[in-house]
Amino acid sequence: SYELTQPPSVSVSPGQTATITCSGDELGNKFVCWYQQKPGRSPVLVIYQDDQRPSGIPERFSGSNSGNTATLTISGAQAMDEADYYCQAWDTSTAEVFGGGTKLTVL
Partner 1 sequence: EVQLVESGGGLVQPGGSLRLSCAASGFTFSRYWMSWVRQAPGKGLEWVANIKQDGSEKDYVDSVKGRFIISRDNAKSSLYLQMNSLRAEDTAFYYCARDSTDDGIPLAGHPHDSWGLGTLVIVSS
Closest CB 60 distance from partner 1, rounded Å: 19
Q: Is 96 in the site for partner 1 (CB under 8 A)?
A: yes
For the stretch 40-68, what's the b/e string if a residue is b when 16 or more beta carbons lie within 10 angstroms of its beta carbon? eeebeebbbebbebeeebeeebbbebeee
DSSP state of 16: S
87, 32 Cβ separation under 8 angstroms: yes
Q: Is 30 a residue that touches partner 1 (CB under 8 A)?
A: yes
Based on CB atoms, which residue is closest to partner 1, 68 or 76?
A: 68
Q: How many residues bind partner 1 (CB under 8 A)?
A: 26
Q: Which residues bind partner 1 (CB under 8 A)?
A: 1, 30-33, 35, 37, 42-45, 48-49, 54, 86, 88-90, 94-101
